[in-house]
Structure 1
Amino acid sequence: MGTRLEVLRVFKSLHRTRTAVFKDDHRALTAARLKINEEFRKNKNETAEDNIKKMIQMSTSVETVLRQSVLQVEHVGENELLLRPRESLLLENVPYCDQPRKKS
């Protein structure tokens, strides 16, 4: 029963990530929902524990890539794009320095 709960947890987590990453983009939200559901439905009869663990790991990796690498960009004009980064993707801007800082 533990494996089933883990699969459901990953399934729900992927859908939460999908809604956060593709916020306000109905076409991408629908495509991602269909793809997630299709992949889980395709493998619903899998019984080999090792294969299930590998698929759970793959799902977790996909979620990580979506959260850390995907940016929303919207066409505003003919030659203009609007970048909508999520708060989690914004990092502190630290200027480059040739000389390493001395530890105190």
Structure 2
Amino acid sequence: MGTRLKVLSVFKSLHRTRMDVFKDDNRALTAARLKINDEFQKNKSETSEENIQKMIKMGLNVEAVLREAVVQMEHIGEDTLLLRPRESLLLENVPYCDQPRKKS
């Protein structure tokens, strides 16, 4: 696959991941879209094959972190600090902590 196609593939992959990870969170969806587009726009004139390959690898790493490490949470009740993962985004059989945090 040519370099141009690899870059386009990473760009699309980041946007698909953004749509999955920040589903139903318009503010995060917009911020992530702007950041992804800005980074690719900022580096569009890069000509060094070595630098382009480094940026492709960084984009793939960012995509992996977003997919594997970001968890959207929701408050349980109005007056508590108790949080839980948004059920609509949970994978089956994934444990989570349902312990209340102590107020400082």
Q: What TM-score comes out, normalization by structure 1 length?
A: 0.79
Q: Where has structure 1 moved over 4 Å in runs of 4 or more?
A: none
- What percent identity do the matched residue pairs reach? 63
Deviations 1:41-86 (A, max 9, x none): 0000000000000000000000000000000012342313241253
2:60 is paired with a residue of what secondary structure? helix
The one-letter amino acid of 1:40's match is F
- Distance, in Å, in 2 between the alignment partners of 1:24 and 1:37 is 20
TM superposition shift of 1:33: 0.2
- 1:45–1:88: structure 2 CA closer, same or farther, 3 Å change rule? farther
More strand by share: 1
- Distance, in Å, in 2 between the alignment partners of 1:32 and 1:6 is 20
TM superposition shift of 1:89: 8.8
Asked if 1:81 corresponds to 2:74, the answer is: no
* Count of aligned pairs between the two proteins: 91
Residue 40 of structure 1 corresponds to 40
Radius of gyration: which is bigger?
1
Q: What TM-score comes out, normalization by structure 2 length?
A: 0.79
Q: Check the 8 A contact 1:68/1:89 in 2, yes or no.
A: no
The one-letter amino acid of 1:20's match is D
Unaligned runs of 5+ in 2: 96-104
Residue 3 of structure 1 corresponds to 3
- Distance, in Å, in 2 between the alignment partners of 1:89 and 1:31 is 30
Asked if 1:28 corresponds to 2:32, the answer is: no
Unaligned runs of 5+ in 1: 92-104
- Distance, in Å, in 1 between the alignment partners of 2:93 and 2:39 is 27
Q: Check the 8 A contact 1:73/1:83 in 2, yes or no.
A: yes
